[in-house]
Amino acid sequence: MQNQPPFTFTLFGGTGDLAMRKILPALFIAHRDAKLHETGRIICVSKQAFSRDEYLDWVSKNAAPHVKGGGASVDIEDVAWRSFLARIDYLALDLVEPTGYQRLAELLAQSKVVSVFYLATSPLLFERICANLATSTVDLSQARVVLEKPLGHDLRSSHAINDAVARVFSEDQIYRIDHYLGKESVQNLLALRFANSLFEPLWRRESIAHVQLTIAEQLGVEGRGEFYDGTGALRDMVQNHLLQLLCTVAMEPPTSFDANAVRDEKVRVLRALRPFSAEDLELRAVRGQYVAGAVNSQSVPGYLQEPGIGPRSQTETFVALHAEINNWRWAGVPFFLRTGKRLAHRAAEIVITFRPVPHAILPMPFGSGSVSNRLVIRLQPDESIQLHCLAKQPGDGMIMQPVALDLSFDQAFKQRRAEAYERLLLDAIRGNLSLFVRRDEQEAAWKWVEPLLHHWQSTASPPKPYMAGSWGPTASFAMMARAGAQWPEDG
């Protein structure tokens, strides 16, 4: 772990759900493990009229139960927790009123250090917060601003938010966060590709038949019905998380691990994505919406019965796409993207299926004629890498059976692995942009998904229904079959 500089971390939205579930628990873990500079300070900002002591009680009640990496929750009487709370100040502030920002400037002026501003608020407030910072006496010369998604709901609104932030902060001060990029297994995908000579010669169209990227959730909208109904799975998961994973799999080797070298290669992938034609919109894109069913043997309502959802909503809770990348490395290789709520299992994984041997001289299992090798990179709930291949079954004859070479990170490495938010927050303090999204990346992703958004908004056809607890609408399996592939659970 690199040495951290002295810093002040200002958290806008300091009483919100994200602050309690992710940001403050991640900062506590970094504090407990001595990864934060001893003089680093945390200023939490929200409109609630708490005193500092009242706010610290709120944090102990609402953030401590979400601490991971050392037990189910933290003991709030522990020395480490008390010393973490000693770092925290609280400022009650109306975020839209510029007058109150002078009090923030006075708090920040107590020390000349790196300032990180984390905007864990609605994106509708981003422009006003940045403008108020600019018109105050807050020193922004060493400032970094971290922006939470969603950054807009289409390309135009994304432009507007980015333009507003750019009027105050330069691009190298802006950290657009995508927590999937901070996951240990995504880091290991980069290591697998670029630190080993074994895979790179095979990482191309001549050896790979297709690639699948899945982010499956068992949860429904979980009380966020009004927000989710205006967002949907395409904006919530595909435009950011899934396309970032696709870029990590498909990008060319960068010249170095410098932030811009990595992000340059990701942008090239996004710009090479084949645009959706009119035929593609019908045959290579599936949207679905869950109906009542059972998850883990418990009955759950359909999407239209969730609180905050209109009775005629056509918002998609499931998306499956057949994408292609128009470049020399990947021409003709299908990339299948899939995400959904209320699916059979919680899982996030990348499955890379290699082409079968050109001529089978040994009897293959199941009488299928050939069985492809697969590299399975599991992101959640557990993190692992498996290489599926064939081996001889013990006994007489040459009988082949599938086996897996399994790298389980829990078994291979005994030290604790950093949570995604912990890694990304430390990188923001350190000034490392490698795992954050650049503006041209984000806009290239919006350009690719917008034809789907417009098509689904204009069509009279509703989303395909699928039962909660299933693997999505049958149309997604039909889409795969047309391409000569299948999802893992269909094997």
For residues 233 and 63, give the distance between their C-alpha atoms in angstroms, rounded to a whole number: 27
* Residues 118 and 195 placed together within one structural domain of the fold: no
User: Known binder of ligand: residue 426?
Assistant: no
* Residues 193 and 325 placed together within one structural domain of the fold: yes
Q: Tell me the per-residue pLDDT of 185-198, one tens digit each, with 9 for 90 and over.
A: 788 888 888 988 88
**Domain assignment of residue 450, yes or no:** yes
Q: Tell me the per-residue pLDDT of 107-131, one tens digit each, with 9 for 90 and over.
A: 888 777 889 999 999 888 999 999 9
Q: Tell me the per-residue pLDDT of 214-266, one tens digit each, with 9 for 90 and over.
A: 999 999 998 888 889 999 999 999 999 999 999 999 999 999 989 999 999 99
> Which pLDDT score, from 0 to 100, does residue 406 have?
83
**Mean pLDDT across the stretch 203-222?**
95
Q: What is the mean pLDDT of the chain?
A: 90
The domain that holds 262 is classified in CATH as 3.30.360.10
Name the more confident of 485 and 365. Answer: 485
Asked if residue 446 has pLDDT above 70, the reply is: yes
* Residues 143 and 251 placed together within one structural domain of the fold: no
Query: Is 269 within 8 Å of 246 (Cβ atoms)?
Result: yes
**Domain assignment of residue 293, yes or no:** yes
> Which pLDDT score, from 0 to 100, does residue 25 have?
95
Give the tokens for residue 419.
Answer: 């949570």
**Domain assignment of residue 332, yes or no:** yes
Asked if residue 278 has pLDDT above 50, the reply is: yes
**Domain assignment of residue 433, yes or no:** no
Domain boundary among 148, 171, 190: 148
**Domain assignment of residue 115, yes or no:** yes
User: Known binder of ligand: residue 77?
Assistant: no
* Residues 70 and 211 placed together within one structural domain of the fold: no
User: Known binder of ligand: residue 202?
Assistant: no
* Residues 387 and 306 placed together within one structural domain of the fold: yes
* Residues 317 and 456 placed together within one structural domain of the fold: yes
Return the minimum-mean-pLDDT range out of 155-164, 224-233, 324-333: 224-233
* Residues 197 and 75 placed together within one structural domain of the fold: no
User: Known binder of ligand: residue 217?
Assistant: yes
Which amino acids are annotated catalytic?
A: 241
**Domain assignment of residue 135, yes or no:** yes
Q: Which residue has the tokens 């299928």?
A: 368
318: enclosing H helix or E strand: strand 318-323
**Domain assignment of residue 116, yes or no:** yes
Pick from 374, 335, 333: nearest CA to 353? 374
Domain boundary among 130, 148, 166: 148
* Residues 273 and 382 placed together within one structural domain of the fold: yes
Return the minimum-mean-pLDDT range out of 7-11, 287-291, 402-406: 402-406
Return the minimum-mean-pLDDT range out of 211-215, 361-365, 422-426: 361-365
User: Known binder of ligand: residue 279?
Assistant: no
Asked if residue 104 has pLDDT above 70, the reply is: yes
> Which pLDDT score, from 0 to 100, does residue 69 have?
57
- pLDDT band at residue 414, thresholds of 50, 70 and 90? low
* Residues 219 and 73 placed together within one structural domain of the fold: no
Q: Tell me the per-residue pLDDT of 447-467, one tens digit each, with 9 for 90 and over.
A: 999 999 999 999 888 999 999
The domain that holds 84 is classified in CATH as 3.40.50.720
In residues, how long is the chain?
491
> Which pLDDT score, from 0 to 100, does residue 397 have?
79
Domain that holds residue 450: 181-417+439-483
> Which pLDDT score, from 0 to 100, does residue 369 have?
40
Q: Tell me the per-residue pLDDT of 329-388, one tens digit each, with 9 for 90 and over.
A: 999 999 999 999 999 999 999 999 999 888 878 777 764 444 678 999 988 888 888 888
In total, how many domains does the chain have?
2
For residues 203 and 189, give the distance between their C-alpha atoms in angstroms, rounded to a whole number: 12
**Mean pLDDT across the stretch 53-70?**
88
> Which pLDDT score, from 0 to 100, does residue 367 have?
46
* Residues 115 and 200 placed together within one structural domain of the fold: no
User: Known binder of ligand: residue 61?
Assistant: no
Determine what percent of the chain is predicted with pLDDT higher than 70: 96
Where do the DSSP E strands lie in 333-486? 335-340, 347-354, 374-380, 384-392, 400-408, 464-467
Provide the sign of the torsion angle of the four alpha carbons 335, 340, 345, 348, taken in this order.
Answer: positive
- pLDDT band at residue 73, thresholds of 50, 70 and 90? low
* Residues 91 and 205 placed together within one structural domain of the fold: no
Domain boundary among 148, 168, 194: 148
> Which pLDDT score, from 0 to 100, does residue 380 have?
85
**Mean pLDDT across the stretch 155-162?**
94
Helices (H), 167-224: 184-194
* Residues 123 and 193 placed together within one structural domain of the fold: no
Determine what percent of the chain is predicted with pLDDT higher than 90: 70
Give the tokens for residue 474.
Answer: 């049958």
Give the tokens for residue 400.
Answer: 């082949």
**Domain assignment of residue 62, yes or no:** yes
User: Known binder of ligand: residue 179?
Assistant: yes
**Mean pLDDT across the stretch 298-310?**
94
For residues 27 and 428, give the distance between their C-alpha atoms in angstroms, rounded to a whole number: 12
